[in-house]
Amino acid sequence: MPSDSARELFNACLHGDVAAVSRLLPSQSAADTSTALTGAATFGHMDVVRMILERTPDSAIDSREATHGGTALGAAAYFHHADILELLADRGAKVNLLGIQLDTPLHLAVGLIHPDEYPRDPDPDGARQVTTVKSLLRLGAGTKPLKAPLPRQHNFVV
């Protein structure tokens, strides 16, 4: 169960409250920081993402947040925040990292968009999606083989 200060940090990240994040960040665990980073990436708060990256070790950049198991780069890809995913990749985030459902950030970026999805911003002409996919491809997404186990083959007798 996250502490009250971890919940407060997460909410500050969701709202882009740089002052609150600055105040709360030093007292957080790596897991709480990862969850906060993913929240900031989800909502496109570049200043908060940058602050968290500057104040936490780079080794935690690919950590999965505690609630859904996603990464900050995966969230930025899914919600089409190309500027944030480029920053994360520049800081060492892996663009081909498999998610818990064996998806990559590229899979998340090209996924279907439903107009009622929340909190994804409206992107009626798909411009942000295209920019995100192009950024991921430029960063090498999809160029390395996935290290996932192959599904078990079944021999059916007819």
Q: Which residue ranges make up each domain of the chain?
A: 4-138
State the average pLDDT for the chain: 81
Per-residue pLDDT, 113: 53
- Report the SS3 class of residue 11: helix
Q: Tell me how far apart the alpha carbons of residues 7 and 32 are, in angstroms, rounded to a whole number.
A: 8
CATH of domain 4-138: 1.25.40.20
- Whose CA is closest to 51, among 24, 78, 29, 73? 24
pTM: 0.81
Structure tokens, 92: 């060492």
Give me the mean pLDDT over the 19-31 stretch: 89
- Using alpha carbons only, how large is the chain's radius of gyration in Å? 17
Using an 8 Å Cβ cutoff, are 14 and 43 in contact?
Answer: yes
